[in-house]
Amino acid sequence: MNIYNDNWLGKTLNVVKSNDATLIDKQGTVIDETKRTITIKSQDKLVKLGKSSIKFTISDSDVVIDGALVGQRPENRTHRRYRMA
């Protein structure tokens, strides 16, 4: 199982690239995930991130995930096969 298919709830998310410069290096614990958004808890605040506009890493993984590629419901994402280039 790869990082794309893992359950991300409770893991640390770190934004590495974004269209919005204020989101770069934003880090927090994933508390909710929907089809188009990921909600993290960062410094006692809830931050809702649009998946399509960010690239991020999960926990200690070196894999950079393009949020636009994981734009499905979490329960569908965990069973999907992703093509790695």
The token pair that represents 25 in the structure block: 């290096």
- Answer yes or no: is 41 within a domain: yes
Domain count, the chain: 1
In a domain, 45, yes or no: yes
Contact 58, 75 (CB under 8 A): no
Is residue 62 domain-resident? yes
Return the HEC string of 1-29.
Answer: CCHHHCCCCCCEEEEEEECCHHHCCCEEE
For 6-58, how does the pLDDT look when each residue is reduced to its tens digit (9 = 90+)? 889 999 999 999 999 999 999 999 999 999 999 999 999 999 999 999 999 99
Question: Between 81 and 22, where is the model more confident?
Answer: 22
Residue 85 scores a pLDDT above 60: no
Instruction: Give the domain extent around 71.
Output: 3-77
Task: Find the CATH number of the domain harbouring 15.
Answer: 2.30.30.210
Closest C-alpha to 16, from 55, 66, 68, 58: 55
Residue 82 belongs to a domain: no
Note the pLDDT of residue 63: 92
pTM (two decimals): 0.86
Q: What is the per-residue pLDDT across 52-76, written as a single tens digit (0 to 9) for each? A: 999 999 998 999 999 998 988 888 8
In a domain, 84, yes or no: no
The DSSP bridge partners found for residue 47 are: 40
